[in-house]
A and B are shown apart, each in its own frame.
Chain A
Amino acid sequence: MKNNAAKINSTYREALKQGLREALQNDERVFLMGEDVGRYGGAFAVSKDLLQEFGEERIMDVPLSESGFVGAGIGAALAGMKPIVEVMTVNFSLLAMDQIVNNAATLLHMSGGQLNVPIVIRMGCGIGKQLAAQHSHSWEPFYAHIPGLIVLSVGTHEDARGMLLTALKSPDPVLIFEYTSMLNSEREIAADAGAVDISKAKVLKEGKDISIITYGTGVYKCLEAAAELATIGIDTEVLDLRVLRPLDEETFLASVAKTHRVLIVEDAWRSVSISSEISSRIMEKAFYELDAPVQRLCGVEVPIPYPLHLEDAAIPQKNDIVNAVKKMMSHD
């Protein structure tokens, strides 16, 4: 920790943008392609003004064909470029599934180790903007299922600023999940924030009573819940998974060994999710550390509804987390 370093306030959007700019400045092979990323400045204004700064060759608008431009990005990666492909939202990535799963994830294997695919695919995602069922998917568990991919979830401003830079160094395809509901949120980050590790989960708040394991939009919610729980004497540890594939077992198992109680929080639907995977790994590898059954707070298993109050009710909120922890600790 650089305690003495200067801090600046930054929105999540600005952090993403500065990360992009730094990546484009650092390496000439890096370029951004995606729907409306150039003239429009990006559907979420993440790449605003970058076209003017880096030119058409490096900030590339593409037709509305996810399968086509993700495939083009894979081709560019195979040819030695460092493409950043923006899929406007994860909902549309279903159209590019074949490119991602059958090409990006498998070519290294199919070529007998000859062909790396150093592509980075950024996807806007998350729930909470009243975009209704078809535009509110949490596909992190889908992609985390696939060997050959590295899947990152940007739960904090530091990671918004730094994950892309490190992802571009990876010889293998990296998927970055960026949460659109967090774009306008402002936080303090180090003025010189930059590349961050993309192999480890991170304990954001240490505690001794219970571990909350989460990622994405769950991170700040859990930290807020932890602050509230602290006022009633429950010392919560909050762990941001950050890397959904490959999972950093070592970090979360160490946390389990410390607190012996676990709550996993995620927006994705409960069945066959990140939380179900974490839960079974804890059962397999830390069973004798558990003092209570692992509990989960997940998205309600319905198409995400449009009305705000129902949308809120469909995913874990701060109060849900506080109540779940209280219930788990009430027997002490």
Chain B
Amino acid sequence: MIEFQMPSLGADMEAGTLIEWRKKPGDAVKRGDIIAEVETQKGLIEIEVFDEGIIGELLIKEGTKVPVGTVMALINPTETTLETRKETISEKPTVKIQPTEEKIVEKATAEKFEERHIKVSPLAKRIATENNIDLSQIQGTGEDGSITKDDVEKAISQKAKIEKKEEKSLPKNLAIRSAIAAAMSKSNTDIPHYYLEKRIDITKALAWLREANSKRPIQKRLLPAALLIKAVAKSLIDFPELNAIWDNEVQIKKEINIGFVVSLRGGGVIIPAIHKASEKSIDEIMEALNDMIPRARAMKLRSSDLSDSTITITSLGEGGADVVFGVIYPPQVAIIGFGGSSQQPFAENGMLGIRTVFTVTLAGDHRATDGLIGSDFLVTLNKQLQNPEAL
């Protein structure tokens, strides 16, 4: 049995409310399938499953708020899971990309499972229909697990409770506001920040981008953000101390998962992560951004989008303030800030020219690293940006 737990979607998350199970006992699941929807301060998040198998039992009822780490469901691993797992361990780098045909086959099987007949009494079915209750989300207590009137009535009252709660709970942006408040207060209280800044000439990088984009269809065009994320990811390989978390000591993280601050229209920010950014090409990073940003703005993120980021980038974009000094998102130990770029007189090799320049900052956790590491990092980042074609 694999235990499926309430995931942590950021250090500031202590608990989540299970809103809806998307799977029921007997359903086949595979890595990446959405198993549930959970209400957090960051909105309604779709929770993905990371194992393959058959759902054994759903332990938590919809509408229940449980702490992070609570076992929510049991999954029976299928034999193939065990095999795949072995493979994953032995040949980790090669199994990354799966052939699409295989995925389609798996999806078809999953759908077959979902079409199974639900045992429900005629009365319960009628009441469920009248009240818009999804029978697949109810666990029957009748004979042979059939759904009875009582089961449906319980589901109706639960639904009413959730709806009532939703009415009562803070409007979304206020909830996010309070999540930010908690995380930033903790950061400012606990983390002794040091700040570094470096002016970087990005004329070359932008020229390379223009050149690259001129050959691409509009949908495939790259934004400067993709290039910057790639440059940060690549630079971090040499500075593992910055790609870490602080939990009484520095814990260096192997994967470079870059959290990217997305401003929400209603106010507030949300930080989806680009996983394994150092292993992704610029195109792949761009794809990830294209996928995530609209979902983040619509508050439709998945659990994996929000978990495990190891460092954060905040970028003001063009025309904004020149410099941004970030506040570290705990338990991370660094945040990189990109100021707005502008044309400036720039002296280089004894010559004065007009260049597009921006200011990159690094706020570091002084418990974890010292200014020299941060400084070296910014220098490395500058070098990467001067050789965009190598990224």
Interfacial residues, chain A to chain B (CB-CB below 8 A): 260, 287-293, 331-332
| Contact across chains for B149 and A291 when beta carbons are under 8 A apart | yes
18 contacts between A and B (CB under 8 A): A260-B121, A260-B123, A287-B122, A288-B123, A288-B126, A289-B123, A290-B123, A291-B121, A291-B122, A291-B142, A292-B142, A292-B143, A292-B148, A331-B141, A331-B142, A331-B148, A332-B141, A332-B150
Nearest Cβ on chain B to A248's Cβ, whole angstroms: 22
**Which residue in A287, A291, A293, A332 is a CB contact (below 8 Å) of B124?**
A291
Task: Report B-chain residues with C-beta under 8 Å of the C-beta of A260.
Answer: 121, 123, 149
Nearest Cβ on chain A to B127's Cβ, whole angstroms: 9
**Which residue on A lies nearest to B142, using beta carbons?**
A331
Task: Report A-chain residues with C-beta under 8 Å of the C-beta of B121.
Answer: 260, 290-292
Task: Tell which of A260, A287, A289, A292 has the most Cβ of chain B within 10 Å.
Answer: A292
**Which residue on B lies nearest to A327, using beta carbons?**
B143
Task: Report B-chain residues with C-beta under 8 Å of the C-beta of A290.
Answer: 121-123
User: In the complex, how many residues of chain B place their beta carbon closer than 8 angstroms to a beta carbon of chain A?
Assistant: 13
Task: Report B-chain residues with C-beta under 8 Å of the C-beta of A288.
Answer: 122-123, 125-126
The complex places the Cα of A175 from the Cα of B359 at a distance, in Å, of: 104
Task: Report B-chain residues with C-beta under 8 Å of the C-beta of A292.
Answer: 121, 142-143, 146, 148
The complex places the Cα of A291 from the Cα of B122 at a distance, in Å, of: 6
Excluding A288-B126, A290-B121, 9 further A-B contacts by CB distance (< 8 Å) are A260-B121, A260-B123, A288-B122, A290-B122, A291-B121, A291-B122, A292-B146, A332-B141, A332-B150
Task: Report A-chain residues with C-beta under 8 Å of the C-beta of B142.
Answer: 291-292, 331
Task: Report A-chain residues with C-beta under 8 Å of the C-beta of B126.
Answer: 288
Nearest Cβ on chain A to B129's Cβ, whole angstroms: 10
Nearest Cβ on chain B to A160's Cβ, whole angstroms: 37
The complex places the Cα of A297 from the Cα of B143 at a distance, in Å, of: 18
The complex places the Cα of A54 from the Cα of B142 at a distance, in Å, of: 61
**Which residue on A lies nearest to B120, using beta carbons?**
A291
Scan B224-257; emit 1 where CB is below 8 A from any A CB, else 0.
0000000000000000000000000000000000
Instruction: Report, nearest first, the 5 A-B pairs whose CB atoms are least far apart.
Output: A291-B123, A291-B121, A288-B126, A291-B149, A331-B142
Nearest Cβ on chain B to A78's Cβ, whole angstroms: 48
Task: Report A-chain residues with C-beta under 8 Å of the C-beta of B149.
Answer: 260, 291
Nearest Cβ on chain B to A177's Cβ, whole angstroms: 33
Task: Report B-chain residues with C-beta under 8 Å of the C-beta of A287.
Answer: 122
The complex places the Cα of A287 from the Cα of B141 at a distance, in Å, of: 20
Nearest Cβ on chain A to B130's Cβ, whole angstroms: 10
| Contact across chains for A289 and B141 when beta carbons are under 8 A apart | no
Task: Report B-chain residues with C-beta under 8 Å of the C-beta of A291.
Answer: 121-124, 142, 148-150
Nearest Cβ on chain B to A30's Cβ, whole angstroms: 48
**Which residue on A lies nearest to B140, using beta carbons?**
A331
**Which residue on B lies nearest to A289, using beta carbons?**
B123
Scan B76-112; emit 1 where CB is below 8 A from any A CB, else 0.
0000000000000000000000000000000000000
Scan B35-64; emit 1 where CB is below 8 A from any A CB, else 0.
000000000000000000000000000000
Nearest Cβ on chain A to B309's Cβ, whole angstroms: 47
The complex places the Cα of A90 from the Cα of B150 at a distance, in Å, of: 45
The complex places the Cα of A168 from the Cα of B126 at a distance, in Å, of: 45
Scan B120-160; emit 1 where CB is below 8 A from any A CB, else 0.
01111110000000000000011100101110000000000
**Which residue on B lies nearest to A283, using beta carbons?**
B122
The complex places the Cα of A331 from the Cα of B121 at a distance, in Å, of: 13
**Which residue on A lies nearest to B129, using beta carbons?**
A288
Nearest Cβ on chain A to B377's Cβ, whole angstroms: 64
The complex places the Cα of A332 from the Cα of B146 at a distance, in Å, of: 11
The complex places the Cα of A192 from the Cα of B123 at a distance, in Å, of: 44
The complex places the Cα of A331 from the Cα of B123 at a distance, in Å, of: 16
**Which residue on A lies nearest to B152, using beta carbons?**
A291
**Which residue on A lies nearest to B147, using beta carbons?**
A291
| Contact across chains for B143 and A289 when beta carbons are under 8 A apart | no
**Which residue on A lies nearest to B144, using beta carbons?**
A331
The complex places the Cα of A188 from the Cα of B121 at a distance, in Å, of: 41
**Which residue in B122, B125, B143 is a CB contact (below 8 Å) of A331?**
B143
**Which residue on B lies nearest to A260, using beta carbons?**
B123
The complex places the Cα of A113 from the Cα of B219 at a distance, in Å, of: 87
| Contact across chains for A332 and B148 when beta carbons are under 8 A apart | yes
The complex places the Cα of A287 from the Cα of B125 at a distance, in Å, of: 11
Nearest Cβ on chain B to A80's Cβ, whole angstroms: 51
Task: Report A-chain residues with C-beta under 8 Å of the C-beta of B141.
Answer: 331-332
Nearest Cβ on chain A to B123's Cβ, whole angstroms: 4
Nearest Cβ on chain A to B133's Cβ, whole angstroms: 15
| Contact across chains for B122 and A289 when beta carbons are under 8 A apart | yes
The complex places the Cα of A331 from the Cα of B150 at a distance, in Å, of: 10
The complex places the Cα of A288 from the Cα of B128 at a distance, in Å, of: 11
The complex places the Cα of A287 from the Cα of B143 at a distance, in Å, of: 17
Nearest Cβ on chain A to B143's Cβ, whole angstroms: 6
Task: Report A-chain residues with C-beta under 8 Å of the C-beta of B146.
Answer: 292
The complex places the Cα of A291 from the Cα of B126 at a distance, in Å, of: 10
The complex places the Cα of A50 from the Cα of B142 at a distance, in Å, of: 57
**Which residue on A lies nearest to B121, using beta carbons?**
A291
The complex places the Cα of A210 from the Cα of B119 at a distance, in Å, of: 21
The complex places the Cα of A288 from the Cα of B152 at a distance, in Å, of: 14
Task: Report A-chain residues with C-beta under 8 Å of the C-beta of B125.
Answer: 288
Nearest Cβ on chain B to A296's Cβ, whole angstroms: 15
**Which residue on A lies nearest to B148, using beta carbons?**
A291
- Which chain B residues numbered 140 to 188 have a C-beta less than 8 Å away from chain A? 141-143, 146, 148-150
**Which residue on B lies nearest to A257, using beta carbons?**
B123
Task: Tell which of A289, A291, A293 has the most Cβ of chain B within 10 Å.
Answer: A291
Scan B304-321; emit 1 where CB is below 8 A from any A CB, else 0.
000000000000000000
Nearest Cβ on chain A to B256's Cβ, whole angstroms: 53
- Which chain B residues numbered 275 to 332 have a C-beta less than 8 Å away from chain A? none
Task: Report A-chain residues with C-beta under 8 Å of the C-beta of B122.
Answer: 287-291
Nearest Cβ on chain B to A189's Cβ, whole angstroms: 38
**Which residue on B lies nearest to A332, using beta carbons?**
B150
Nearest Cβ on chain A to B139's Cβ, whole angstroms: 12
Task: Tell which of B122, B124, B146, B149 has the most Cβ of chain A within 10 Å.
Answer: B122
Nearest Cβ on chain B to A114's Cβ, whole angstroms: 46
The complex places the Cα of A331 from the Cα of B144 at a distance, in Å, of: 9
The complex places the Cα of A41 from the Cα of B146 at a distance, in Å, of: 57
Task: Report A-chain residues with C-beta under 8 Å of the C-beta of B150.
Answer: 291, 332
Nearest Cβ on chain A to B75's Cβ, whole angstroms: 26
